[in-house]
Structure 1
Amino acid sequence: MFNLSKLFKSVPETLAAVDLGSNSFHMIIAHWQNDSPVIIDRIKEPVRLGFGLQDDGSLSDEAVQRAMECLQRFGERLRSVDAGSVRIVGTKTLRSINNASEFLTDAQARLGHPVEIISGEEEARLIYLGVAQAIEPGKDRRIVMDIGGGSTEVIIGRGMDPEIKESLNMGCVALTKRFFGDGKISRKAIKKARVACLQELEPVRDDLLDLGWSECIGASGSIKSVAEVCTELGWTTGEIHRQNITDLIDQFAEHGNIDLSMKGLSADRQPVFFGGLIVLSALFESLQLETMVASDWALREGLLFDLKGRFEHKDIRDDSINKLVARYHVVSPRVGQIEKTVEDFLPQVTGDWELNPEESLQLLKWAARIFLIGLDITHSDYHKHGAYIAENVDLAGFSRSEQAQLSALVLSHRKRFPVKKFPMDNEPLLRLSIIFRLAVIFNRARRNIPLPEIKLVAKDKQLSLNVSTEWLENNSLTLADLENEVRYLSQTGYSLFLNDSVDDNAAS
């Protein structure tokens, strides 16, 4: 229903992570032993999805076919992994296409598990998490860089905590396609490509340099490939020096084509190696780097640790919600009151409305904690301001679809139902919005007024709400709100009945 992991009492025996990147699709499957993942399967396919991204924002038929054929194979391997034990994310290219919903539907059908599209900031966080788990903990800051197919992530952090997360629009596939699409290399093209990368780095360069670091780490294919080539050529013992990059670029420039073969360079990496090399050279120049070491872990391993944390009730998303609440100064007793009310309402309709109880309650409680954030801007239309913040702020751990669902609940919690802006085709979310609206209505007052017994009966698109008539007569404002709600919900195709039977109304 939602792209939220199911809540297990303990970490499942097997966890899996899938990264749908712009250059390659990766899948790792692991068992957990002694608080560390033991990789039992690792699959990589060079799908080159980014090469299929067209000027109008669509994906070419050939790229879609390559992707779906790969996902079909991944899906066969994932059939033995329990639902909720797999996290699948799409990155830069899937963030960029205009037909993402169609692609996701087809992808999920083949994989058998939900697919999320994550933001660049979330991608950076997960990369840092994966790298940080692979190295000795230290007190000093480190800078971590990951050159992907469509974007490059740059993160500065200390220990397990990232302090700056940047996602830049430059990657090995994108740069190759833009400047070396015909395979030819010239000094002029090299200069243009490097300048384009330096321009992308310029807005964030000073902030990164001002914070500083004592250790430089690179991750994923492009950087690991450069490190392997340097090792095979006998230049280093695994690290990358600035002069190594210059020498490699000179060799490609002399050859005049991206098809230059060299020791340590695989056939799969060959078509995009030079594009990644140019990005790396710009990173070294702009950030005044001299040496970098390559990490074996990155995004996929970060996904595994993040997923494990959710099962252990160490969900980074809860921390993100708490930080958002603090940032926008939400201090209201209504938050706790509404949380209690949704905890009471939800079980009464879960079965008839086919809602997942754990995921639905998690989403409703998050919405209850942040629905007032827009008040920090202005009281007028605060729900609109809050919805914009919820969808666009950097919320660590959340996918774009999860933030969109939170935003929709915040937007729709008051006044007329926003049928033109709400995802009306998402029936479970619409039903959660109705529950949330009713919880808000019964908790309008800042004072903690004891509520009477409230019974809900759901059937298809009808909802009966039964509450003491005497209580309603003594709370005339709530009664007026409920009468308005009958009218508002009729615009959604749902019928709300007050102190009446759904079956009686259906019969009449």
Structure 2
Amino acid sequence: MTKRLALIDMGTNTFHLLVTEVTEQGQLKELYKTKVPVRLGQGGISSGAIAPEASERALRTLRDFRKTIDEFGAQTVRAMATSMVRNASNGERFVKDVFEQTNIEVEVIDGAREAELIYYGVRAAGVLNTDSSLIMDIGGGSVEFILCNQHKIFWKQSFELGAQRLMDKFFTQDPIPAESITAEKAYLDERLQPLSEAVAMYKPTNLVGSSGTFDTLCDIDAQRKGDMSRATATPPASVLSLPDFYEVHNELLTKNHDERLAIPGMLEMRVDMIVLASIAVDFVLQKYGLQEIRVSAYALKEGVLHQMLAGQ
């Protein structure tokens, strides 16, 4: 018999809901998908607590998600919370509030598990092969790096260096000044020492960007070339050439908020954070000499889904 599953990824910036049906043959049929800019980290990420306004936005969104889940009749609901909730002094209280108001049990996952689930999601998108790849997933609170190929994970780590944290630290003027770019890169160089050591050992040849920022970079690149196909459906796997990435990157650095918002393909929820995220991508490409960017539209929730189907 078919069964319906709902997956919720409660990120620091964005909440995602995926409702899917598994047929008797074990095939997946996507029924509903949405993302909401909850900004759970806004006003509290630097002080280590979820702000009241952010908590209310999150609870309102999850009440809406609950209605949608019930409308589709999903029997199983899996909700994962990541960086903001796991680090917040009031994270446990928030999880209790969610359960009381929505009957959704939230799993607060640690950084290592988050990285592992992202790997399974990216692998399902078909962007990995036998080459050594470096997956980068830029969230609002944390960034996950996974060194891997299609068969296995060699190394993984989550760093609390997400775009909201970088924004609070370095985005003091708009457009971002050259000294802030330099400061962010120096900060990343210092904080990503463990990654640098692992890269030296496993020698990845390409960067695999996992959803979020990377999807938006691809959307902007496609619309710049007059390709509107991504506006209706995002393919699981894409390629973003380095020259194309740098065209978009340089545009992001020289424009202010309103000018960035006017870029075709830009999402309002990413309009500021994408500046800090793009600088981080540039840093990783240059530091580790990576010559190719592949993009996976699949990430954490798809990883959870494929692990569930595999019975893990």
User: What's the TM-score bracket when you normalise by the shorter of the two chains?
Assistant: 0.7 to 0.9
- From the superposition, tell whether residues 36 and 200 of structure 1 become closer, same or farther in structure 2 (CA, over 3 Å): farther
Opposite residue 74 of structure 2, the aligned amino acid is: V
Deviations 1:2-55 (A, max 9, x none): xxxxxxxxx861112110001100010111244342110112100111223254
* Distance in 1 (alpha carbons) for counterparts of 2:152 and 2:77: 24
- Taking the aligned partners of 1:74 and 1:181, their CA distance within structure 2 comes to 35
Aligned to 1:22: 12
Residue aligning to 1:127: 118
Q: Give the equivalent residue in structure 1 for 2:296.
A: 295
Shift of 1:245: 4.1
Larger Rg: 1
Q: Superposition pairs for residues 416-495 of structure 1, below 5 Å?
A: none
Equivalent position SS for 2:113: helix
Q: 1: distance between equivalents of 2:285 and 2:226?
A: 18
Tell me the CA shift for residue 136 of structure 1: 6.6
SS in 2 for 1:262: coil
Look up the equivalent residue of 1:296 and give its one-letter code.
A
Structure 2 partner of 1:280: 281
Q: Is the 8 A contact 1:259 1:271 kept in 2?
A: no
- Correspondence for 2:3: 13
**How far 1:160 moved relative to its partner?**
4.3
The corresponding residue for 1:81 is: 74
**What amino acid does structure 1 have at the position aligned with 2:275?**
F
TM-score by length of 1: 0.55
Determine the C-alpha separation between the residues in 1 that align with 2:166 and 2:127: 33
Once residues 224 and 48 of structure 2 are traced to their aligned partners in structure 1, the CA distance between those partners, rounded to angstroms, is 40
- Is the CA contact 1:21–1:92 (under 8 Å) kept in the aligned structure 2? yes
Q: CA deviation at 1:75?
A: 1.4
Counterpart CA distance in 1 for 2:74 and 2:299 is: 22
Written as runs of structure 1 = structure 2, the 5 A alignment for 1:361-376 is none
Q: What is the identity, as a one-letter code, of the residue corresponding to 1:32?
A: V
Quick one: which of 86, 90, 107 aligns to 1:99?
Answer: 90
Q: Distance in 2 between matches of 1:277 and 1:207?
A: 22
Q: For 2:146, which of 132, 152, 155 is the aligned residue?
A: 155
Aligned equivalents of 1:182 and 1:68: distance in 2? 32
Q: Is the 8 A contact 1:124 1:166 kept in 2?
A: yes
Q: Distance in 1 between matches of 2:181 and 2:257?
A: 12
Matched, 1:195 2:186: yes
Q: Distance in 2 between matches of 1:36 and 1:140?
A: 28
Q: What is the aligned partner in structure 1 of residue 250 from structure 2?
A: 250
Cα distance in 2 for partners of 1:119, 1:286 equals: 27
In 1, the alpha carbon distance for the partners of 2:113 and 2:189 equals 23
Specify every segment of 5 or more residues in structure 1 that has no aligned partner in the other structure, as ranges.
1-10, 316-508
1:218 and 1:168 map into 2 onto residues whose CA distance is 16
CA distance in 2, matches of 1:193, 1:258: 23
Say which SS state the counterpart of residue 276 (structure 1) adopts: helix
Q: How big is the shift at 1:182? A: 5.5
Alignment of 1:347-426 (within 5 A): none
Structure 1 residues 136 and 180, CA gap change in structure 2 (3 angstroms): closer
Matched to 1:285, the amino acid is Q
Distance between the aligned counterparts of 2:150 and 2:45, measured in 1?
40
- 1:278, CA displacement in angstroms? 1.3
**For the residues of structure 2 that align with 1:155 and 1:136, how far apart are their CA atoms?**
14
Pick closer, same or farther for the CA change 1:168–1:53 going to 2, 3 Å.
same
Q: TM-score, normalized by length of structure 2?
A: 0.87
Does residue 205 (structure 1) correspond to residue 196 (structure 2)? The answer is: yes
Question: In the alignment, what sits opposite 2:234?
Answer: none
2:104 is equivalent to residue 113 of structure 1: yes
Range 215-224 or range 40-49, more displaced: 215-224
Matches within 5 A, 1:56-67: 56-67=47-58
Query: Where does residue 140 of structure 1 map in the other structure?
Result: 131
Q: Is the Cα contact below 8 Å between 2:211 and 2:296 reproduced in 1? A: yes
The Cα offsets for residues 279-308 of structure 1, whole Å up to 9 and x where unpaired, read as: 211221222212201112111101111222
Instruction: For 1:277 and 1:156, locate their aligned partners in 2 and report how far apart those are by CA, in whole Å.
Output: 20
2:222 matches 1:221 = no
Tell me the matched-pair count: 299
Q: Per-residue deviation at 1:132?
A: 0.6
Change (3 A) 1:288 1:18: same
Deviation, structure 1 residue 162: 1.5
Give the 3-state SS of the residue equivalent to 1:225 in structure 2. Answer: helix
How far apart, in 2, do the equivalents of 1:166 and 1:147 lie? 12
Per the alignment, residue 31 of structure 2 pairs with 40
Contact 1:17-1:304 at 8 Å conserved across structures: yes
1:49 is matched with 40
The separation in 2 between residues aligned to 1:23 and 1:199, in whole angstroms, is 25
Which has a greater percent of strand? 2
SS in structure 1 of the partner of residue 41 of structure 2: helix
Distance 1:247 1:111, change over 3 A: same
SS of structure 1 residue aligned to 2:212: helix
Q: Which amino acid aligns with 2:209?
A: G
Using CA pairs under 8 Å that are at least 6 residues apart, name the structure with larger relative contact order, 1 or 2. 2
Kindly report structure 1 stretches of 4+ aligned residues shifted beyond 6 Å. Answer: none
Taking every aligned residue pair, what percent have the same amino acid on both sides? 24
AA paired with 1:17? L
Match of 2:267 in 1: 266
Displacement of 1:152 after TM fit? 1.1
Please give the secondary structure, in 2, of the residue aligned with 1:190. Answer: helix
Cα distance 1:195–1:184, how it changes in 2: closer, same or farther (>3 A)?
A: same
Give the aligned partner of residue 326 of structure 1.
none
Structure 2: state its 5+ residue gaps. 231-237
